[in-house]
């Protein structure tokens, strides 16, 4: 049966949902008859896109499975099911379930529960679905995959050229993600990093991303006098990001709980693991599905500054332990989260309808 993907999040836009949509649609298209209807323009064009997708499906003569890319599109899928009788599948990511708006929470779960199958990127997303009356037997947990990385040798001269600072003798902590409250960067800089810096004054912390918390984060950097050790990198090309991953020593994901905004999975942690980085992350929400404690990283109680400090300092002072953790993370990711295995699980969902 033909599979039609309808998604409003797709390259050239950048983000986790865009990357997931691209990987799933292109990989399934290689072995199965399919079609991709994607919005490749800013979200302001969404109403026109919805109308276009409806017209396109209305004239579809072949029997199809319709796969909607996220929760915001769930009403569109239900309309298609009513008009054409096609089975419908929905992918949910986290915020598209928990979005903190009264009307959204009253309306969207009604549409979501009408789907034949719902693919959730973590068990936390399934939990949030259950809270809203969406049947658990319709929900299937499928994590996000990661592609095999070719070995990249660290070249810190490239970092010096891009950042403007010689990091040849520095140890590097790395975080990647949008600068929003739930990512915990503001908290980590305030409560954790200064203490670590006292013992490792050559330590550098690179934060790659941009977002609404940028001013607050810069304020903390200034107040704590961290300007020589913390660098915000908002615009980073993929090739340069690969260099940053290759040259970093520890990847940190210090998420904190924020009402109405959850971490659906934690794909950046898996990306870091694929480069062989040691990972230290908060033991909350979808991160618990991405990171298996002791297998591909270390999970820490949320907001436990002393535990974060202890673990990171231990890894900085024990290179052998750090490298073993990184190698274990890389091997675990390769064995359990390869795209080949993930796509097979998607195909199993389609077959079950």
DSSP of 221-239: HHHTT-TTTEEEE----HH
3-state SS class at 282: strand
- Residue 319 class from Cβ within 10 Å (0-12 exposed, 13-18 middle, 19+ buried)? exposed
* Nearest residue to 60 via CA among 80, 74, 46: 80
pLDDT of residue 164: 84
pLDDT of residue 34: 96
* Nearest residue to 195 via CA among 275, 313, 108: 313
* Integer Cα distance of 20 and 28 in angstroms: 12
DSSP letter, residue 43: G
Question: In CATH, which superfamily holds the domain spanning 156-336?
Answer: Glycogen Phosphorylase B; (3.40.50.2000)
What pLDDT band is residue 222 in, cutting at 50, 70 and 90? very high
* Same fold? 2-145+338-352, 156-336: yes
pLDDT of residue 214: 96
What pLDDT band is residue 267 in, cutting at 50, 70 and 90? confident
pLDDT digits (tens, 9 = 90+) for 223-239: 999 999 999 998 788 88
Q: Pick the residue with more confidence: 240 or 185?
A: 185
* Integer Cα distance of 143 and 136 in angstroms: 17
Residue 213: pLDDT above 90? yes
pLDDT digits (tens, 9 = 90+) for 324-348: 999 999 999 989 899 999 999 999 9
DSSP string, 92-156: E-SHHHH---HHHHHHHHHHHTTSSEEEESSHHHHHHHHHTT--GGGEEE----BPPPPP----H
* Integer Cα distance of 93 and 124 in angstroms: 10
Q: Retrieve residue 19's tokens.
A: 């990357």
pLDDT of residue 114: 97
Residue 199: pLDDT above 90? yes
Element (H, E) at 38: strand 34-38
Q: Backbone phi, then psi, for 35, in 5-degree steps?
A: -145, 140
Residue boundaries of the structural domains of the chain: 2-145+338-352, 156-336
Architecture of domain 2-145+338-352: 3-Layer(aba) Sandwich (3.40)
Summarize the chain as % helix, strand, coil (round to 5): 50, 20, 35
pLDDT of residue 117: 98
What pLDDT band is residue 158 in, cutting at 50, 70 and 90? confident
Residue 14: pLDDT above 90? no
Asked if residue 330 lies in contact with residue 275, where contact means CB atoms within 8 angstroms, the answer is yes
Q: How far is CA 141 from the centre of its chain?
A: 15
pLDDT digits (tens, 9 = 90+) for 166-194: 888 889 999 999 899 999 999 999 999 99
* Nearest residue to 353 via CA among 35, 85, 23, 112: 85
pLDDT digits (tens, 9 = 90+) for 94-145: 999 999 999 999 999 999 999 999 999 999 999 999 999 999 999 999 999 9
Residue 15: pLDDT above 80? no
* Integer Cα distance of 174 and 87 in angstroms: 43
């Amino acid at each position: 049966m033909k599979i039609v993907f309808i998604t409003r999040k797709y390259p050239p836009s950048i983000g986790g949902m865009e990357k997931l949509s691209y990987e799933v649609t292109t990989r399934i298209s290689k072995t199965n008859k399919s079609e991709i209807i994607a919005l490749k323009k800013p979200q302001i064009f969404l109403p026109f896109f919805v109308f276009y997708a409806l017209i396109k499906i209305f004239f579809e003569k072949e029997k199809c499975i319709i796969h909607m890319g996220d929760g915001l599109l769930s009403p569109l899928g239900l309309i298609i099911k009513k008009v054409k009788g096609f089975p419908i599948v929905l992918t949910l990511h986290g915020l598209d379930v928990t979005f903190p708006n009264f009307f959204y929470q009253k309306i969207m779960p009604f549409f979501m529960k009408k789907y034949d199958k719902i693919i959730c990127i973590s068990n936390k997303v399934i939990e949030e679905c259950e809270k809203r009356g969406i049947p658990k037997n319709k929900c299937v947990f499928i994590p996000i995959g990661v592609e095999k990385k070719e070995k990249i040798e660290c070249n810190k001269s490239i970092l010096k050229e891009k950042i403007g600072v010689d990091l040849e003798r520095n140890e590097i902590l790395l975080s990647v993600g949008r600068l929003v409250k739930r990512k915990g960067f503001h908290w980590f800089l305030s409560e954790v990093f200064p203490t670590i810096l006292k013992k490792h004054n050559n330590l550098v912390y690179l934060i790659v991303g941009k977002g609404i918390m940028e001013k607050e984060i810069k304020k903390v950097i200034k107040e704590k006098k961290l300007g020589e050790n913390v660098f915000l990198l908002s615009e980073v090309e993929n090739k340069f990001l690969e260099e940053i991953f290759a040259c970093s020593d520890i990847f940190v994901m210090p998420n904190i709980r924020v009402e109405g905004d959850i971490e659906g999975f934690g794909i950046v942690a898996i990306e870091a693991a694929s480069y062989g980085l040691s990972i230290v992350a908060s033991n909350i929400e979808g991160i618990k599905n991405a990171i298996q404690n002791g297998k591909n990283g270390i999970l820490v109680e949320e907001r436990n500054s002393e535990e974060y400090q202890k673990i990171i300092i231990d890894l900085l002072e024990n290179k052998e332990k750090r490298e073993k953790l990184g190698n274990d993370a890389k091997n675990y990711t390769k064995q359990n989260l390869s795209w080949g295995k993930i796509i097979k699980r998607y195909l199993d969902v389609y077959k079950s309808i």
